[in-house]
Chains A and B, each alone.
Chain A
Amino acid sequence: MIDRAWLGRELPPSGMLLERARLQLFACAIGETDPVYLNASAARDAGYRDVLAAPTFLFSVELDSGATDRLLREMDIPLSKLLHGEQSFRYHKPVCAGDRVTVKSTISEIYNRKGGALEFVARTSRVTNQDDELVAELRSLLVVRH
């Protein structure tokens, strides 16, 4: 059982400078061929400042910073019992190479299903850029199989 004291808790923020090579690598790994994700001049021609971050890239910020691993460890959730249940993104501004983003997350829900055989944890996040503009909001629903 996950300690319900986690409910409503704010997690330490995670920051990331979005390097062009990293966004290009992510695009390659998902089979993306659209040049706005791969080529800076094509991205500029399309009206973006630089290579565009793919729509799901921001999920990686808290993976890179170690925040997701730390959360799982502190909640005592083993990786072998973890599943990703749901994921949502709300987009406010494009995010491109050269941007520095900050992710601030809160544990927004914890609940059980199937008599406690499954436990759910929702993490909601707000992502801001170097100009302190809200660029995206995320919600991740983690599932623990007991």
Chain B
Amino acid sequence: MNPGDKLPILKIPPVDRTMLALFAGASGDHNPIHIDIDFARRAGMPDVFAHGMLGMAWLGRLLTRWVPQSRLRKYEVRFSGITHLGNAIHCSGEVMEMVELDGERCARVAVSASNQYGQNKIIGEAIVALH
């Protein structure tokens, strides 16, 4: 593992209502803005949109198929844009530098999620142990 190494890209199918309904149930996030178009419109949105935590979970998959989760020490993101229905999210990541965390040799990895139009939706980073 070296700075500049790219993680294999993870491509997610376009967001649809079924995905959002399943994630609402599985995650316990029943906020109707993600599953009820009437509520979303009353809130001033054109339609329902994806849970931020669904996108963060996809980026988590990018990380854990690259290194086992037992090596993941830290994972943080900023939600920079709303992921709309039909958005096909591409998850990408790159090793930025080697760092030490609590005396352990680790890599700092930048991750991001963007749709098919190149609009960024989530930006974040992870710290993974080298061994």
Contact = CB atoms under 8 A, between A and B. Distances in A.
Secondary structure at the A interface, as helix, strand, loop or mixed, is: mixed
Contact of B29 (A30, A60, A86): A60
For chain B, the bracket of interface size reads: 35 or more
Given A83-B79, A94-B70, A56 B57 contact: yes
Most buried by B among A26, A60, A81, A87: A87
A115 interface: no
Nearest to B42: A80
Given A46-B68, A60-B29, A89 B58 contact: no
A47 B52 CA distance: 30
Nearest to B101: A90
A26 B19 CA distance: 11
Most buried by A among B26, B44, B56, B78: B26
B112 to A, nearest CB: 14
A64 interface: yes
B130 interface: no
Contact of B28 (A54, A60, A85): A60
B52 A26 contact: no
Interface string B49-82: 0011110111011011100111011111111000
A86 B78 contact: yes
A55 B63 contact: yes
Contacts of B72: 55, 91
A41 interface: no
Contacts of A5: none
Interface residues of A, number: 36
A31 B61 contact: yes
B69 A60 contact: no
A75 interface: no
Interface in A3-46: 22, 25-26, 28-32, 34, 36, 46
A79 interface: yes
Interface stretch (B1-9, B31-39, B92-100): B31-39
A82 interface: yes
Interface of B: 12-13, 19, 22-23, 25-33, 39, 42-44, 51-54, 56-58, 60-61, 63-65, 68-70, 72-79
The 5 closest A-B pairs by CB, nearest first: A88-B76, A80-B43, A63-B28, A29-B26, A84-B52
